[in-house]
Amino acid sequence: MAHPVAILSGKKRNMGLGIALFAVTACIMAWLSGSWYLTLQQYAPLSQDMRLAWSDLYRGQMEAERLLAGESGGRPGAQTAYFRQAAERIQDAVRILRTRSALFSLDTGLIQTKDDALAFVDAINEVSTATYARIRDASTPNTMRIISQRNDFDALHVNYEKLQRSFDKAFDSRAQRLMQSGIGLMSLWIVVVMFLGFQLHGLAERFRSAAEQLRESEERWNFALEGAGDGVWDWNLAKGTLFLSRKWKEMLGFNDDELVNDFETWRSLAHPEDIDTALATINRCLSGGTDQYEHVYRMLRKDGTACWILDRGRVVARDAEGNPVRFIGTHTDITAQKLSEESARASGENLAVTLSSIGDAVIATDRDGRVTLMNPVAEKLTGWTQSSAIGKPVSAVFVIISATTKQSLPSPVEEVLRTGRTVSLSNDTTLVSRSGREFQIADSAAPIHDASGEMSGVVMVFTDVTQQYRFKRKLAESEHRFRTALDEAPFPVLLHDARGDVLMLNRQWSLLTGYEPSQVPTIHRWKDLSDPEIDPESRFSGQARSTDGEQNIRCSDGTLRTWNVSMIELGAMPDGRHITMLAAVDVTVQSETMRALQRSKKAAESANAAKTEFLANMSHEIRTPLNGIMGMMQLLVSTPLDDEQKQYVSNAISSSGRLSQLLSDVLDLSRIEAGGLVLRDECVTPSELLDAIKDLFTLGTRSSQVELALEISPGLPQHILLDGGRLRQILFNLVGNALKFTEKGHIHVRLDELAIHGGMRQLLLISVEDTGIGIPQGAMRDIFNPFYQVDGSHVRRQGGVGLGLSIVRRLVIAMGGALCIDSAEGEGTRIHLSLPFRTCAPDSGDKPETSGETPEAGLPMALGDPAALHGLNLLLVEDDPVNQLATAGLLRKSGARVTIAANGQEGLAAALSDSFDCIIMDVQMPIMDGIEATQRLRSDGRYTARAATPVVAMTAHALEGDREMCLASGMDTYVTKPATLESLAQAIASSIRLRTRRGP
């Protein structure tokens, strides 16, 4: 515009011309602008209609693919509506072109565009029809239909691009004509032409730029539509820019402003393990190796997790040399699809592994009964490999016959295909393999249904049961033999099931009872028949194995028999029933004999109890006066006597001691024979035991020519656990016997340890050897019998009643030991015995002293020092006047002060009136006995100040349990009558020591 103005201002004479030129130029410009406006007015709506039409086509394609893929959300018929709407938009564009272009019939470019548009409409209608047909026939997802649909859509896209080029070509042709017209009009005027040329050139450049931007926008828009719902990327290789859509970033968990739109962003987010293959695929497409770019790889989300991406794209522009200029594409997140594929692959592998590892044979067929799958077990049984069997009729591979008739049997697959129901074979089916080998099988076949519920084939599972079949036959034969054996058994047998139905009644049962099997249909009926008066549930109650003992069985003739009935649970039979067997033994005769024996036993036990009670009463009645006799003799010794008198008294005391020992031995023997012996383990020191033997028997050896030698093996533990009282009784009896029958020589006692079973069991080995008179060979068999004497004549030199060795033998056996004897007449005797023991630690706690218990244990009394009684204040509770006089006199002779009470009640009253150092308490007394008196002293609040006074039990009760009863009542020590002053002094001293240690 500047140039014409300058001309007019510089040459006024040419003003008119300039004005004319300006006017002409203005008219030309107006005409050109109007032409351009008309052209844009005509073509802009056409371009918009084409873009909208392509958008409708893409939506229709997306709906079609969803329906073909079986995705939820698909709308049947929507694709047809979109396709129809796209065709109508193209047809509307053609009508607009015809009505708005006056030169339509003269413009060959517009005519070609119209023809291309109509051809495109026809192509749309064909694709719509084909799409409808595919969707209608697709009951399940089918990949081939989806691929066919995409191929049709790609062909449609080619037609669209052809129409687009035709449109662009017509548009460019019109623009060129307009430009040529302008140049022709302004060629008369160079300045105007130049001016207009510059203007037109700038306008053409702007138009081309706008057209190029429009095409780029259309291509980007179209590709965005192709990837609807996916991320879009646009890579301008000429400018080096990369556009990443908002959806592309959100797919990876980023906001739109969190990522820079450049190639490095993509590189940094691509998985390190997949980036090389992705770049290689991209480069292959850019270099022209492939028309389309498609690659599946992993990308990293914002949270660091990986997702699977389907990346698709293509080069949309290349320069004149063929180098790529623009590369656009989409991202699709297929993580769920990948996981589904992986799950399907794992399921397939698991199925394959399962079919290979299960013990059953599996064959699958199609709907025509042809083999499609076999597992290894099926291959082994049929003799066919899967590769050779696939496609063959199942009847050719799975050949079955009847095991009994050997006739061919129809394949179960055929029945399943015919009926659609599961089928099982009979139990006598035999499979004939390809090699002719036969297998007994159990088989079932079931239909296979597809997703639509239609039967697509059959699966057959069968198992080799040849061994089970043989076992079943053998079991049936065994059952027959078992029934035969039971029927012929010499004792009654009955079988019944869990419901009580009798399955078998053997011949002997019927023979003994007179009942036939038909008369005993159930076990309950049998119970009613056998004895209606007995509760049936209490006779045959169900246990795994129980013996009901003797039962009175009423036979059919009314007689009663005694049976010993046992019930045995045989468990479940092959048919599932639980069988119980009742077996009985007729013990009528034995029962009568047993009852007679029981009566005899009861009578013997009563006699034995009477004997024991008699001996106990005799012991008590003898010990009480004997205690008085010995007490008086001891008092008499303390008076002035001449030698002859002293000898008389000494003999009387000795005789009393022998009588006391005899009583103890008789009671011990009676206790052992009655089974009333109780063993009490305690920690024993062997060296102290030998010291007691030395103290007791050394005095007897000093006046004779006998040497007493005592020895302990170094290997014997210092402390052993066993019944110390019985051990002392055994040793004292053996040493006493040896001393009695040995006039000169020696007596050797040795204690040793004997370990057996590798030290697992320890035995105390005791050896007592003497050089006495020995035992004749003929007397060895009876030497341990009670009251047996080797010399039973009236002139025998040794005394005794023959109970010592008998008691020793019984004690050793009761303690779990063993005893043997070796002797020869005139050469001495050797006795060896062993007793089991365990090692122990000495008891550090307080326990009752048992020095005064020896009479109860059959041992000589332990001795104490009577001088220790001097100055003590003692209470004697005794009802017998003689024992009062004797015991009180002995204690007073020893320097003690003695208060006497005649019963327990007087004793308690005396205990309240004075403080005593010790109480000597008799047990059996009138009004209140010693047990009750001691209990009251220990627990009654009135006697709290005297509750800790030591109490010594001095009683004529020497049976098993008497000692425990006394100690349990609160007494501290126990001494039996007759008691010597020394044993009584020992018991008193022990009681005082115990109470001193225990405290109040």
904 pLDDT band, cuts 50/70/90, is very high
Q: What is the pLDDT of residue 908?
A: 92
- pLDDT tens figures, 466-483: 777 777 777 777 777 777
906 pLDDT band, cuts 50/70/90, is very high
Q: Are strands 292-300 and 241-244 parallel, antiparallel or unpaired?
A: unpaired
- pLDDT tens figures, 175-204: 677 666 666 666 655 565 566 556 656 666
User: How far from the centroid of its chain's Cα atoms is residue 22's Cα?
Assistant: 108
Ramachandran assignment for 400, one of left (phi > 0), alpha (psi -120 to 50 degrees), beta (any other): beta
Structure tokens at 861: 């009394």
**pLDDT of 41 above 60:** no
The partner residues of 921 in beta bridges, in order of sequence, read: 877, 953
The partner residues of 708 in beta bridges, in order of sequence, read: 747
**pLDDT of 753 above 60:** yes
Residue 33 CB neighbour total at 10 angstroms = 11
CA distance 403 to 410: 14
Give mean pLDDT, residues 273-300: 90
Q: What is the pLDDT of residue 300?
A: 92
Q: What is the pLDDT of residue 296?
A: 92
The alpha carbon torsion through 53, 56, 57, 60 (nearest 10 deg) reads: -160
Ramachandran assignment for 437, one of left (phi > 0), alpha (psi -120 to 50 degrees), beta (any other): beta
Q: What is the pLDDT of residue 536?
A: 44
CA distance 620 to 625: 9
| DSSP helix/strand/coil, 330 | strand
User: How far from the centroid of its chain's Cα atoms is residue 508's Cα?
Assistant: 49
Relative orientation angle of helices 15-69 and 143-186, to the nearest 10 degrees: 180
Closest CA to 74 of 153, 141, 151: 141
Which residues fall within 8 angstroms of residue 926, CB to CB, at 6 or more apart? Answer: 879, 902, 903
Residue 951 CB neighbour total at 10 angstroms = 26
Share of the chain above pLDDT 70, in %: 74
Using H for helix, E for strand and C for coil, what is the string for 801-827?
Answer: CCCHHHHHHHHHHHCCCEEEEEEECCC
Give mean pLDDT, residues 958-968: 77
| DSSP helix/strand/coil, 456 | strand
**pLDDT of 666 above 60:** yes
- pLDDT tens figures, 821-868: 888 888 888 989 999 998 888 754 444 444 334 333 333 333 457 888
Ramachandran assignment for 288, one of left (phi > 0), alpha (psi -120 to 50 degrees), beta (any other): left
Give mean pLDDT, residues 425-442: 82
| DSSP helix/strand/coil, 570 | strand
Q: What is the pLDDT of residue 920?
A: 93
Q: What is the pLDDT of residue 53?
A: 80
Q: What is the pLDDT of residue 901?
A: 94
Helix-then-strand count for the chain, H and E: 29, 29
Ramachandran assignment for 970, one of left (phi > 0), alpha (psi -120 to 50 degrees), beta (any other): left
Pair 443, 429: CB distance under 8 Å: yes
Phi first, then psi, for residue 548 (nearest 5°) are -80, -5
Using H for helix, E for strand and C for coil, what is the string for 895-910?
Answer: CCEEEEECCHHHHHHH
DSSP 8-state symbol, 105: G
DSSP 8-state symbol, 941: G
Pair 930, 888: CB distance under 8 Å: no
User: What sections of 862-918 are H helices per DSSP?
Assistant: 881-893, 904-913
496 or 779, which is more confident? 496
Pair 243, 234: CB distance under 8 Å: yes
Pair 547, 570: CB distance under 8 Å: no
Q: What is the pLDDT of residue 661?
A: 64
867 or 934, which is more confident? 934
**pLDDT of 669 above 70:** no
Least confident of 24-28, 401-405, 585-589, 707-711: 24-28
CA distance 65 to 79: 9
Using H for helix, E for strand and C for coil, what is the string for 45-80?
Answer: HHHHHHHHHHHHHHHHHHHHHHHHHCCCCCCCCHHH
Least confident of 16-30, 121-135, 913-927: 16-30
76 or 360, which is more confident? 360
- CB environment 782-807: b (16+ within 10 A), e (fewer): ebbebebebeeeeeeeeebebbbbbb
Which residues fall within 8 angstroms of residue 449, CB to CB, at 6 or more apart? Answer: 455, 456
Can you give the C-alpha Rg of the chain in angstroms?
Answer: 63
CA distance 316 to 191: 42
Q: What is the pLDDT of residue 361?
A: 87
Q: What is the pLDDT of residue 442?
A: 81
Closest CA to 696 of 735, 750, 659, 746: 735
Least confident of 46-55, 422-431, 792-801, 827-836: 792-801
Give mean pLDDT, residues 13-20: 52
**pLDDT of 780 above 60:** yes
Give mean pLDDT, residues 746-767: 82
Phi first, then psi, for residue 824 (nearest 5°) are -140, 140
**pLDDT of 58 above 70:** yes
Amino acid of residue 118? L
Q: What is the pLDDT of residue 848?
A: 40
Q: What is the pLDDT of residue 30?
A: 63
Structure tokens at 174: 């019109």
CA distance 443 to 360: 10
| DSSP helix/strand/coil, 996 | helix
CA distance 99 to 46: 12
User: How confident is the prediction for the chain on average, in pLDDT?
Assistant: 77
Pair 772, 741: CB distance under 8 Å: yes
Q: What is the pLDDT of residue 864?
A: 59
Pair 766, 751: CB distance under 8 Å: yes
Give mean pLDDT, residues 456-474: 81
CA distance 917 to 935: 18
**pLDDT of 981 above 70:** yes
Among all chains, which residue has been given the structure tokens 């709506």?
A: 45
629 pLDDT band, cuts 50/70/90, is confident
781 pLDDT band, cuts 50/70/90, is confident
Q: What is the pLDDT of residue 527?
A: 78
Ramachandran assignment for 558, one of left (phi > 0), alpha (psi -120 to 50 degrees), beta (any other): left
> Taking CA 729 as the corner, what is the angle to CA 744 and CA 846, rounded to the nearest 5 degrees?
130
Q: What is the pLDDT of residue 14?
A: 44
Q: Are strands 951-955 and 918-921 parallel, antiparallel or unpaired?
A: parallel
918 pLDDT band, cuts 50/70/90, is very high
Give mean pLDDT, residues 637-647: 76
478 or 268, which is more confident? 268
| DSSP helix/strand/coil, 722 | strand
Which residues fall within 8 angstroms of residue 453, CB to CB, at 6 or more apart? Answer: none
Residue 462 CB neighbour total at 10 angstroms = 25
Amino acid of residue 532? P
